[in-house]
Each structure stands twice: as C-alpha cells, then as structure tokens.
Chain A
Amino acid sequence: MLTIKNLKAQINGKPILKGINLEIKAGEVHAIMGPNGSGKSTLAAVLAGRDYVEITSGEVLFMGQNLLDLAPEERARMGIFLGFQYPVEIPGVSMVSFMRTAVNEIRKYRNLPPLNSSDFLKYMREKKELVEIDTQLTHRSVNEGFSGGEKKKNEIFQMAMLEPKLAILDETDSGLDIDALRIVANGVNKLKSPDNAYLVITHYQRLLDYIIPDVVHVLYDGRIVKSAGKELALELEEKGYDWIKREYQKI
C-alpha cells in the first residue's frame, strides 16, 4: 500500500529525514518509536503533504501513485489520514460543517452522491457511538476549547468518519489518561480491517498493549535504525533509547 524509498527531506535547509525506507501492506499495523526530535512528525507531515518540508530525494508510492506530486486534499481523498500530534483549533468553523464538507468531498472522489443533512447526521451519530466521543463536541467549533484528550478523541472520530486506507496517528496517545487511551485504541481496533493499514507514532509501549503492531520501527536522527516485532516496544520501554543510540553511533 505504501512504499517509501530513500526519502530525504529538510526544513529551512536543515536535513531532518536522512534516508527513510519503509513498506506497509494492507492489513498491517506499524509502530514508529524514537526519541524526541528524531523526525517522526516530520515523516508524518511529508506523507500528509505539508509544504514547509522540502523533499530532497527519494520517492513515496501510495497505492501505486507517486504521493509526493499530490496536494494534501488529493492524498486525503485517496485515503491518507493524519491524526495530528497537535490538532489545530479553528474558531468559527463548526465540527458539523467541517465534517460534512470533508465527507462529501471524499464521497465525490469515490463517485458517491453527497449525503443530505439527515443522512449525514445519522452517519455522524453512528460514528460517534463507534468511537465513544462525547456528543457535545460535535456541536462546537473545530477543537475550540477542547481539552487535550478531547482533541485526540476528535482525531479518531474524524478518522472514523473519513474511513481512510492508511491512517497515520502521530502521538495520539500522548496526554491521554487510561480511559481515553482505551477509547482511542478501541476506535482503531474497530476500524481495523484487512483493507486498511495503520502507522502509529508513539512514545509509549502502553498504547501498543491495545493496538498490537505487526512491526515496530525505531526512528533516530532521521533514519529507521531498527525494525523488529512487537517485543521491540517492550525492550525500548525497559531499556530506553540509549542502547539504540550507541548502536547507531558505532555504525
């Protein structure tokens, strides 16, 4: 589904991603861990199409298409979803009109007719129940005045609404208490299918107790320096990242 080949990228002339290789197949869950500042969010930003990151080499194929040529909205319509580490507050744009516009844009891309008001509200209600998000939140402006946990749950709700093929969740677990974490993880597990895939960026092993990854990668200094099964997450939890850094510096 997604193939990243030797991807290098910089921000303001400073190299951040220094040659990323990654292959994700439908039905898989990949976790990316790694110390702060190693480039995890930058990788997510590149995949979603943020323009302050400049690609210097490499390629990214998504469903056989060259992803890097596409505008962010085109990627989203093809099925890329980014759960933001820091969701933006947008006062004055209601959740309902935001989601309705987004859902209908994506339906248009899939050659489906737009949902009318009542069908849309019904669809939204179903998804809200699925991800156990508070009804109040969808009556407000996008993320405005939401708590940290509410913002993260809102990301999962949007994911449920848009039914992406590849969801990239950037530290969706950070700042969540155990109940919220469970809600987020349950949402992901309910939406998981053989046709979609997840790239879960996280600091903590605890999320991976709920969302079982097929592969765990360690991103350090702009490179994936280690990839292994889910037991790697436990090892990192126990020993921290120093041993990885040492191993990496030896090379």
Chain B
Amino acid sequence: MKSTFMHDIAIDNLKALFNQLENEKQYQPDWLFHLRSRAFENFLIHKFPTKKDETYKYTSLEPHFSGKLTYLSQTKCSNINIDEVFKCDVPSLDTHLIILVNGWYYASSQQELLHETSDGLIYGSLREVTNKKPELIKPYFAQSSRTINNFLDDLNLSFMQDGLFVYIPPQARLEKPIQVINLVVADEAVQIYPRHLIISESSHLTQILFCDHSLNISPFVMNGTMEIYLKDNAKLSFYRMQNAHNHSIQLTNNYITQSHQSEFKSVYVTLHGGVVRNNIFVQINGEEAKNSMYGLWLADKNQHIDYFTHVNHNKPASESNQFFKGILDDEATGIFSGKIFVAKDAQKTNAYQSNKNLIISQNAKVRSKPQLEIYADDVKCSHGSATGKLDDDAMFYLRSRGISHKESCQLLMFAFASDITNQIDIDPLKEEIETLVDKRLRGELSRCNRCSISCT
C-alpha cells in the first residue's frame, strides 16, 4: 500500500510540474513541445517501473521522485566566480571548457552560447541551438532515445531545458578536448534534467570529458540524457567521471548510434553518488563499426551503483567490447546488467563483455547479470562475470615485504581499478583520475577537492 501511495505522490508532483511549465510557456518551440507531450504521455501510461520489471529489479527509483524537489526554471546561480570553477579543470590539460550549472549552460555576458569554427564545427548550448538552428538538430534530437522505452528519458525529454551541443562536420578537427563540468549548486533539494546532443561526421578523433560535480551537499535528482551520433568513419572518445556527493541521485541515459566504420570509446568512472543508475544503449547500425566501453565504480557506505548496458549489433562485421569493474565496501551495492543483442544479419559480429567485482566487506552486495541474445550464426560472442575478495596470496606477498595490511589492500584495489583507468588515452586526465581513484580508495576524497565555489 505504501509504495502505491508514494507512486501517486511522485506522479502527481510531476504532472503538476508539467502543467506549470506548459502554462508558463516554457515549452517553446512547438516541435519540441510536441515531443515533450508525447514523452510525458508515455510516462503516464507506463509510470515508474516496479520490482517486477527485470531492468529495474534491484534499483527502485520512484521513492526518489516523491519528495519535494524544486525545479529550477533558470539558473539562480548567475554570478559564479569562473576562476574558481577553472580550478576544477585538469591541470596541464588544455581544453575547451564548458560549464553547466544545474543543467543550464553557463556563459558570462562576454561569452558566446555557441562557438563556431571556420571549418564548421559548432559547440555550445543545446538550448541556443534549438532556438537558433533547429534544422541542425531536428534530424537527431530524441531520435535514438525514443526507440527504446525508458521512463527516465520520458522524464528528461518532458523537463529538459539545456545542455551540451556538439556538431563536428566531415573533415573538421577539434584540436583539443572539450571538457564539460556539470555542476550542481543549490541550497535546497532540486531536480535537474540536462540533455546533451553530440554529432560527429569527422574521422578525426574528438575527445570529450564530462565531469559531474556537486558543490554543496543538498540532495538532488539529476536525470540526464546524452545522445551521441557517429556517422560513417567518425571517431569519438568519451570520458565521464561521476563525483557528486552521496546524497545525490544521479541518473544518466546514454544513447550511442554508430554508422559504418565508426569508432566509439567510452570510459565511465563513478567515484561518488548516493544512487547512481547509468543506462548505456548502443545501436550499431553500420558495418565494421567498433565500440568499446569501460566502467569503474568505487562504492562504500550505503552507495548504490547500477550500470545497465545494452549493445545492439544490427549490421555485420562490427565489434563491441565491454569491461566493467566495481569495488564495493561497507554496505554498498553494485549492479551490472549487460546485454548483447546480435540481429539475424549481423554476421561476423565480435562481441565481448566482462564484469568483475571486488568485495572488500562482507556486507557489500553485488548483482551481475550478463545476457546474450544472438540471432546470427557466424559470430564470436562471449561474456564473463566474476566476483571475489582480495587475493590472500597477493596480500601476504606484499605484507611479507613490510607493507602494512591497509597499504597492501590499497595497492591491490588500485591495481584492480587500473585496468579501467589505463584506458584513458589523455595522459594528464589519466593521472588526474588515478589520483582521484587513489584518494577515493583511501577514503580521503569527498568530492573534487579543488572545487570550492558557491553562489554569491
């Protein structure tokens, strides 16, 4: 009975919010309003997933939407001291720095909302491009996300306002990586729905780093959607670090659509977050495309981390690799559920998936569910899952050299994690993330400790 009640509260709240935003005419332009209405209707039909839903068996999200969550129609935090934010930047790494505050693209009065280079490369605010160049995004916007029923994307589309937009035309080259700092700064509980769209048509490698941070400890729900489209031969590497505080609910929906001979690599590192659910949907729609995904989560206390991947091979001769690793301490829960789907004509597919978990405390919980669904006969697919403790022989070996029990654990945990951090191809970023991982494993990191900004 209780859960039905919560259900209703959450849905009533969201309904009221939707109506309010509609009345306030926050839903321009029309084509977008149309998409939103359909998404919200879909949400009202399917509602929140229950425990019977296999895809949300271990993670119940409805209670997190039933409390009072303020929706920020505009960023209240307009006077951020930008120099302070720059301290979040990776030292010695030159990037195009983009800051999102509570889901809104942040630009001071001197800054452009959209940057355009001479070879046609455009990046900046999604809201701005929606208003100024809708023809650029219409063929892509919500196209991949609407093919799969996902209530989180329904909600994101219903309530999104802004986010990152990147378009790289053929031949264009992004000289340095784009770094997005996705900040939450609020003094009350908030709900945030950033939405990002990245389109690459270029065979030059584009690198995007995405860091999720919170600057104070008010609880929040952030439900973001990212759509990435790689056209023929496009190459993109995407690094995401989640490091908001442990009272946060961080939900991400990542849709990757790949064409012929495109290459996509992604590395996710989850350091902090109360409840984290990362949905990653890959559609391989072209031949000889390559997708590699790496994920690492370090969880302790009551953290609950849930990774869900779904890789669809729809065309022949493509390759996908998934490596996900979790380290779980205290009462933390780590969930990995991954599916590889190979369509009937996707012959010569190579698909691999692995999930390994290291359990530090007896009370930590791990659920690992790999799935293969294969309709083609000439394919190479495999998956594996292993969960274990620190190796006794290795522990003893290290201690027999004078290294303390604690430091030996630290070395072994770091080694376990390094399989994933080694996949970061940008050296200064790799070093920075290794430092953060090391501190995180020592319990010395609450959030990015260089960040110390607040609203003025």
Contacts and interface: CB of A to CB of B under 8 A. Distances in A.
Given A50-B396, A88-B394, A90-B394, A76 B402 contact: yes
A7 B391 CA distance: 28
A131 B404 CA distance: 26
A90 B400 contact: no
Given A88-B397, A90-B397, A106 B416 contact: no
Interface in B387-402: 391, 393-394, 396-402
A93 B399 contact: no
Interface stretch (A12-20, A24-32, A97-105, A193-201): A97-105
A105 B402 contact: yes
A82 interface: yes
A60 interface: no
Nearest to A158: B401
B88 interface: no
B415 A87 contact: no
A74 to B, nearest CB: 8
Contact of A109 (B393, B400, B402, B411): B402
Interface string A121-146: 00000000000000000000110000
Contacts of A84: 397, 400
Most buried by A among B402, B403, B404, B405: B402
A142 B414 CA distance: 14
Contacts of B94: none
Interface string B398-428: 1111111101100110111011000000000
**Size category of the binding interface on chain A:** 20 to 34
A77 B402 CA distance: 5
B411 A98 contact: yes
Contacts of A141: 415
A81 B400 CA distance: 7
A92 B403 contact: no
Interface in A107-130: 109
Contact of B411 (A48, A82, A88, A101): A101
Contacts of B414: 92-93
A49 B400 contact: yes
Contacts of B393: 88
A178 interface: no
A71 B395 CA distance: 12
B397 A87 contact: yes
A209 interface: no
A38 B412 CA distance: 33
Contact of A101 (B407, B416, B419): B407
Given A84-B397, A90-B397, A101-B407, A73 B415 contact: no
B417 to A, nearest CB: 8
Contacts of A75: 400
B415 A92 contact: yes
A61 B297 CA distance: 45
A105 B407 contact: yes
A39 interface: no
B127 to A, nearest CB: 43
A102 B396 contact: no
Contact of A105 (B391, B394, B403, B415): B403
Interface of B: 391, 393-394, 396-405, 407-408, 411-412, 414-416, 418-419
12 contacts: A49-B399, A76-B401, A77-B402, A84-B397, A84-B400, A88-B391, A92-B416, A93-B412, A97-B411, A105-B407, A141-B415, A158-B401
Given A50-B396, A93-B411, A158-B401, 20 more contacts: A48-B396, A48-B400, A71-B405, A72-B396, A72-B399, A73-B399, A76-B399, A82-B400, A84-B397, A88-B391, A88-B394, A88-B396, A90-B415, A93-B412, A93-B415, A102-B403, A105-B404, A105-B407, A141-B415, A162-B401
